[in-house]
Amino acid sequence: MQFLPLTFVLILESFHLALAASAVDQFTFDGFAGENLTLDGTAVITPDGLLMLTNGTTLLKGHAFYPSPLRFHEAASGGGAVRSFSTAFVFGIVSEYADLSSPGLAFVVTKSVDFSTALQSQYMGLANARNNGNASNHFLAVELDTIVNAEFGDMSDNHVGIDVNGLASAAAADAGYHDDRTGEFRNMSLLSRTAAQVWVDFDARTSLVNVTMAPLELPKPKTPLLSAAVNLSAVIGEEAAYVGFSSSTGVVASRHYVLAWSFKMDGPAPSLNISKLPALPVTITRAPSNILKILLPIASAVLVSALAIAVLVIHRRRRKYAELKEDWEVAFGPHRFSYKDLFHATNGFSDERLLGIGGFGRVYKGVFPMSGVEIAVKKVSHESRQGMKEFIAEVISIGQLRHRNLVQLLGYCRRKGELLLVYDYMPNGSLDKFLYAENRPIMSWSQRFGIFKGIASSILYLHEDWEQVVLHRDIKASNVLLDVEMNGRLGDFGLARLYDHGTDPHTTHVVGTIGYLAPELGHTGRPSKASDVFAFGMFMLEVTCGRRPISQDAHGGRFLLVDTVLDHWRQGTVTDIVDPRLQGDFVVEEAMLVLKLCLLCSHPLPGARPGIRQVVQFLDGGMPLPELSQAHISINMLALMQNQMGNPCSITSSVAGNISDIPRAR
C-alpha cells in the first residue's frame, strides 16, 4: 500500500516527460514519397519520392522545411542550454552542363521559414544584397556551392561552407573527404551528377559544427571535412527553429535534389538506408526501340529522300548559325553562348530589339524563351584573330567580377568577323538619356547622389577589392546603366583591349572619351587609377550640372565644364551651376560637397587627386573634404589641356569614339 504514492509520482513524471517530448526530436526520410514537408518556390516532391528543390528553370529559388519547428534548447518553454544535433542527407546536382552549374544548395537551421525577400542566384535563396550577413537573418547554413563568388570570398567552384546569417562562409573546404585508412584527402565533384552523402554534426559542449561528406558507397569518414565554432543560441535565438534546405538557380538551368534525410537531437543522425533511395534522374539518350528496327527497312526509301532534304536544310541552318571555334576555347566552354540561342533570343537581331548603337557596334535586347531571362547582346565587328585568345580570357575574367553596381558580363559568342558579348539587361537604359532626353522624367537630386555613391563603390571594387587591379578607362554618363530600381551600374568593359592587341603595341594610343581624359594621358598615354578618378570627377560634374563636360559655343569656341565650375567657385556662386532642370530642388550641402569633390578629382596633377577609397568616404560624409589650394582654383583647365595634349578636341578622330579597356596591373 505504501508504494501507491510513489507509483502515482512515477506516472505523473512520465506523463510530464511525454508532454515535453511531444515536439519531434528525430526523423528519417529514406526518400520523400508521401511525406509532409513545407515547400515553397520551385521545390516539389516528385512522384519517385525525390525532393527537387529547383526544377531546371533559371533564376528561381526553392525551399523545403520539416513542417514543425524543433526544440533546440533544453527547456520546453524555450531558453535553457542549447542542444547538440546531427543530420545526414543525400543530395544530387544535375546541371545542363558537365562543368558549370547554378550556385548550389544548402542545409539550413533557421528561426523563420519566410525567405520571400531572399534572392536567387548566388544568394542561394537565403539572403539578399541588403541583409546578407545581418544577425537579424537568424540562420545557420551548410552550403554546397558550385560557383565562385568573389563578393563572398568563395574559394572555388566546388566547395562546402559553413555560413552564419549570410553567404560569406565562416569556414570552407573543397568538396571531398579524408580517407579513413590512409588519411589522404580525396576530391569529390559536386557536379558529378551522382548522389553523395553529407553529415552535419553540432556539439553543444564545444559549439563546433562539423561537416563531413562522402560518396554513397562509403560509411561516414572519421575526420570531418571542415569545422567551425558557432554560437547556435545567438544565431537562431532561444525559441524553436526549423530545419530544411534552400537552393536557387542562376543563369544555368540546374536541378538540385535531396534524396534522403535524417535528423536527431542529442545524438547521431539515424543512418540512411541507401538501398531504398530513389535514383537520381540523369538525362540519358535512349537506344532506338525494337519497333523502329522493324519499321526502318520498310521506311528506308522514304527516309533516304527525307534525309537528303534534311541534309540540305541542316546545311543551310549551319551556315546561318555558323560560329567560329578554336581549340583554345574549350577551356572557356561554359561562358560561350551558341549563336543560335542568341539569334532566337534577339528575334534574329531584329531592328525592334535594337537598344542603341555605341562606339563599337549595335546593342540588342534579348530574351531567352524558356526562362524569360533578359539579356543585352553587343555585336562587335572584328576581323583580326590576333589577340583574340587573350581577349576572350579577359572577357571570362571580367565575367567573374561581381558587384551590385556593375553590369554583369555573362559570356560571349564568336562568329567569322564578329564577336558577341552578352550582358545583363538593364531595363532603364543609360544615364545620359535621363540627363538630356526631353521625354524622360528628370532625375531627382537624391537619385543622382545615390548613383554617385554606387558608382564610386563599384570603382573601389575594381581598383582595390578585386584580386587584380582593374582599370575601367571609360567612366562616363553613357556607360552608367540603370537597373529596375534605378540603381546606377557601371558597364561596358574590355573592348579596347581587343583593339590594343590588334594594333602595333609600340604606338601609344589614348583610350577613353574626350572630356573625360585626364591631362597626363596626353603625354604618358598610360591609364592609371588616378585617370579613372579624374573621369569619375568629370562624370559627377556632368550629372550634377546636366551638361556635357566639353561643349562648343555659338562661335565654335570650346569650353570645359570644369572651367565654368572653377569660375563660379572663385566668385562664390557655385550652386548656380547645378542642373537648372532640378529647379533648385537639391540639398545645397551635398551639391557643394560633390562639386568640390569634382574639382579635387580633376586636379591636373594625378598625385594630388584623392584615391577612390577616399572619394567613397567623402561621399558618405565620413571624412571632411580638404580645402582647395589657391593655385588649383586659378587654373584654366582648357589652356592646360591644350598645352599638354594639343587641342583636346582634335583627338576625337584618333580615339575611335569611345573605347574602354581593362588592362590588369598587379
Ligand X SMILES: *[C@@H]1O[C@H](CO)[C@@H](O)[C@H](O)[C@H]1NC(C)=O
- Site for ligand ADP contains 423 (CB under 6 A): yes
Which residue from 25, 26, 27, 67 is in contact with ligand X, where contact means CB under 6 A?
A: 67
Candidate ranges 50-58, 354-362, 403-411, 413-421; the one touching ligand X (CB under 6 A): 50-58
Residues 30, 474, 532, 579: which is the catalytic one?
474
Report the distance separating Cα 29 and Cα 343, nearest Å. 46
Cβ of 323: how many Cβ atoms within 10 Å?
18
- Site for ligand ADP contains 368 (CB under 6 A): no
**Residues 568, 574, 578, 582: what is their CA dihedral angle, to the nearest 10 degrees?**
-130
At closest approach, how far in Å is the CB of 408 from ligand ADP?
9
Residue 658 near which of ligand ADP, ligand X, none (CB within 5-8 Å, type-dependent): ligand ADP
Per CB under 6 A, contacts with ligand X among 142-201 are 185, 187, 201
Candidate ranges 106-114, 128-136, 425-433, 626-634; the one touching ligand X (CB under 6 A): 128-136
Report the distance separating Cα 390 and Cα 497, nearest Å. 9
Q: How far is CA 450 from the centre of its chain?
A: 21
Report the distance separating Cα 394 and Cα 416, nearest Å. 20
Candidate ranges 224-232, 399-407, 437-445, 644-652; the one touching ligand X (CB under 6 A): 224-232
Residues 6+ apart with CB under 8 A from 519: 604, 637, 640, 641, 644, 645
Contact predicate 37/66, CB 8 Å: yes
Which residue from 29, 49, 50, 56 is in contact with ligand X, where contact means CB under 6 A?
A: 56
154 is catalytic: no
Q: How many residues interact with ligand ADP (rule CB under 6 A)? A: 21
- Site for ligand X contains 134 (CB under 6 A): yes
Q: Which residues of 202-217 are buried (b: 16+ CB within 10 A; e: fewer)?
A: bebeeeebbbbbbebe
Which residue from 221, 237, 334, 358 is in contact with ligand ADP, where contact means CB under 6 A?
A: 358
SS (H, E, C) 52-113: EEEECCCCCEEEEECCCCECCECCCCCCCCECCEEEEEEEEEEECCCCCCCCEEEEEEECCC
Which residue from 117, 275, 289, 630 is in contact with ligand X, where contact means CB under 6 A?
A: 275
Residue 234 near which of ligand ADP, ligand X, none (CB within 5-8 Å, type-dependent): ligand X
Residue 65 near which of ligand ADP, ligand X, none (CB within 5-8 Å, type-dependent): none
Candidate ranges 202-210, 512-520, 525-533, 598-606; the one touching ligand X (CB under 6 A): 202-210
Contact predicate 496/660, CB 8 Å: yes
220 is in an annotated binding site: no
Cell output for 134:
545581418
- Site for ligand X contains 136 (CB under 6 A): yes
Report the distance separating Cα 595 and Cα 331, nearest Å. 47
Beta strands of 96-168 (E only): which ranges?
Answer: 104-110, 139-145, 159-164
Nearer to ligand X, 166 or 604 (CB): 166
Report the distance separating Cα 163 and Cα 142, nearest Å. 6
> Which residue number is nearest to ligand X in terms of Cβ?
234
Which residue from 37, 426, 593, 637 is in contact with ligand ADP, where contact means CB under 6 A?
A: 426
Q: Which residues pair with 413 in a beta bridge?
A: 420
Residue 549: closest CA among 537, 538, 557, 565? 538
Per CB under 6 A, contacts with ligand ADP among 480-509 are 481, 491-492
User: What does each C-alpha distance from 112 to 63, 191, 236, 565, 657 come to in angstroms?
Assistant: 12, 30, 9, 53, 53
Per CB under 6 A, contacts with ligand ADP among 445-484 are 478-479, 481
- Site for ligand ADP contains 637 (CB under 6 A): no
**Which residues belong to the annotated binding site for ATP?**
379
**Which residues belong to the annotated binding site?**
379
Residues within the interface to ligand X (CB under 6 A): 36, 42, 55-57, 60, 67-68, 131, 134, 136, 185, 187, 201, 203, 208, 210, 224, 227, 231, 233-234, 273, 275-276
